[in-house]
Structure 1
Amino acid sequence: MTPMPSFFRPDATNAPMAGIEFGPMNFLAMHNVKRAVASVLGLLLLLDGGVLIATGYFNLGVVLPLVMGLGLCSLGLWWVPMKRWLGATPRRATLWRWFWYGVFLWLATVAVFWSVLATRASTQLPTTAPAAIVVLGSGSPGAAASPTLVARLDLALRDALRHPDALVVVSGGISFRTQSEGEVMAAYLQERGLSAHRIVKEELSTSTQENLVFSRRLLAAAGVPDDAPIHLVTSDFHTLRAGLIARRAGYPAVTTLGADTPLYLRYNIWLREYFALVSSWALREY
């Protein structure tokens, strides 16, 4: 009988392929790759969160990547003792494996949500003339309009110039500022040529639902019928949730316009919106 080639035999430790398929060096190299990947991803997430917090942004979309980055860096740093501890009992290894199944499943749902937001993103202005244009605030840090808010205001200004008879409601409360966001928004639009008599300031809201409910009351007081066409200006990531809440808040003829989110903020803001959509559903805001 022809002898079995050495690299097919389980006992062939000196075969050329054995070190590649079964050797301890390959096992060690794979663990080093995983450790390096965890460390690099962790550092990138820490850098992302740290820079945004330093510039005044503090929300779940910023904090969660920061926490994830800390966890990944810790995993990379203590990889060997962690693997030893997890391998001490089958139960630990099983729980660890299911934990990562859950993480990847969650990441898949985030990816699907982001793809939905990406397909909805459009700065095309609708042709239907609105009775009013409602601009939602974005929680700007400090007393100046944030890049996200500036993008919304610029889009609203373009729309307002196309429809000179439409009122413009700027909606945003005080929160942690000494000046309401509505006031900041109104000043920005007036500096760029929009007449003050067209602007209605809503300065009490602290959430999207309050933005829309309080703005609806101001529109009613200004004589705008409930069924009048309304343009709702927000950011690309926010159009889905804002549109759902608007219909629940009494805007049957609303059209949402989404401004581009600055790239350096985009995915943190989209991540925050993922949780905000779930929260709004749980609170029955839509």
Structure 2
Amino acid sequence: MLKFTPTLMLQAILLIIGLVLMIDCALLIAADKINFGTVVPFFIGLIFAIHAVFWQSILVFLNHHSWLKNISKALWIGFGLWLVSFIIFAITLQYNIEKSQTPLQPVDAIIVLGGGIQNGVPSLTLASRLDTAAALIKQQPEAVVITSGGIGIGETRSEAEAMAQYLYALQNVPLQHVVQEAHSTSTEENFLFSQALLQQHGVSLSDPIAIVTSDFHIPRAKAIAHHQGYDNLVTLASPTPLSIRYNAWFREYFAYISGWLLGEY
């Protein structure tokens, strides 16, 4: 009879977590969702699974190479510290999502941030942003509406155009009511390139402006916008589909660090 020891329990936990991560990420990668939020967790899951299956062999090998054993310990300690930082990030993100407000006061402009298209069609994430934005657009028809997003790799039209067409076809928002910012390739550029369009329509950065983006993206988007001088922001968060929610959080963790290192906020 197999004796269920603490080591065997740890192996079982590592194997289960590893397989869940690998299967989840493999399905998303197969659907062309290749980014930090899918690739990094896949390799973490692979490492977990390998450790679970070859636990004893790895221990024997490390015991014969003490310097590798020390490196292995340092890597696991580093991973533990990183995991703590990610948990803190996730808790903070959840708090910000819960307190994101639904615009009630009038706004002079509505900026809908791009979130990816596939074969010219908005992704699930972007469709959620557009559906959320549509309600506000209809509620405040006098506000300037900007769809912001350039042409992605392998695409033939901009996100801004795909977004405007989606709003027209599925939400009955007239095309002439939407201003397209079709050159940006990042959140920083979304706000930077939208400034000229706002100015053309008589909207200053001190006027009330609503930004519509995914719930997980709100904190970083606000920080970038504030850094550029948008000082009267109203945020409208769209729900992230459950199938990609936690992978999106993982990707956002790295994006937040990257934005800080690049001085975006």
SS at match of 1:261: coil
Equivalent residue number for residue 167 of structure 2: 189
Equivalent residue number for residue 213 of structure 1: 192
Cα distance in 1 for residues equivalent to 2:10 and 2:72: 15
> Are 1:253 and 2:229 counterparts?
no
Aligned pairs for 1:123-272 within 5 A: 124-176=101-153, 177-191=155-169, 192-272=171-251
Cα deviation, residue 124, structure 1: 4.5
Equivalent residue number for residue 84 of structure 1: 60
TM-score of the superposition, structure 2-length normalised?
Answer: 0.93
Equivalent residue number for residue 11 of structure 1: none
Equivalent residue number for residue 48 of structure 1: 24
Q: Which amino acid aligns with 1:161?
A: K
Cα distance in 2 for residues equivalent to 1:142 and 1:73: 35
Structure 1 range deviating more: 132-141 or 26-35: 26-35
Equivalent residue number for residue 95 of structure 2: 119
Q: Which amino acid aligns with 1:174?
A: I
Question: Cα deviations across residues 47-90 of structure 1 (Å, max 9, x unaligned)?
Answer: 01100011120100110011111111222232221011222355
Q: Which amino acid aligns with 1:118?
A: Q
SS at match of 1:121: helix
Question: Cα deviations across residues 136-189 of structure 1 (Å, max 9, x unaligned)?
Answer: 001233311111111111111111111111011000111121111111100111
SS at match of 2:122: coil
Question: Cα deviations across residues 69-116 of structure 1 (Å, max 9, x unaligned)?
Answer: 111122223222101122235544343233222212111111111111
Equivalent residue number for residue 99 of structure 1: 75
Q: Which amino acid aligns with 2:83?
A: L
Equivalent residue number for residue 63 of structure 1: 39
Residues 121 and 260 of structure 1 are in contact (CA less than 8 Å); yes or no, is this contact kept in structure 2?
no
* Structure having the higher Rg: 1
Cα distance in 2 for residues equivalent to 1:118 and 1:28: 37
Cα distance in 2 for residues equivalent to 1:88 and 1:173: 54
Q: Which amino acid aligns with 1:115?
A: I
Residues 43 and 73 of structure 1 are in contact (CA less than 8 Å); yes or no, is this contact kept in structure 2?
yes
Cα deviation, residue 225, structure 1: 2.2
Residues 213 and 249 of structure 1 are in contact (CA less than 8 Å); yes or no, is this contact kept in structure 2?
yes
Aligned pairs for 1:20-31 within 5 A: 29-31=5-7
Unaligned runs of 5+ in 1: 1-24
Q: Which amino acid aligns with 1:244?
A: A
Structure 1 range deviating more: 117-126 or 170-179: 117-126
Cα distance in 1 for residues equivalent to 2:63 and 2:149: 53
Unaligned runs of 5+ in 2: none
Residues 125 and 159 of structure 1 are in contact (CA less than 8 Å); yes or no, is this contact kept in structure 2?
no
Q: Which amino acid aligns with 2:152?
A: S
Task: Using CA pairs under 8 Å that are at least 6 residues apart, name the structure with larger relative contact order, 1 or 2.
Answer: 2
TM-score of the superposition, structure 1-length normalised?
Answer: 0.86
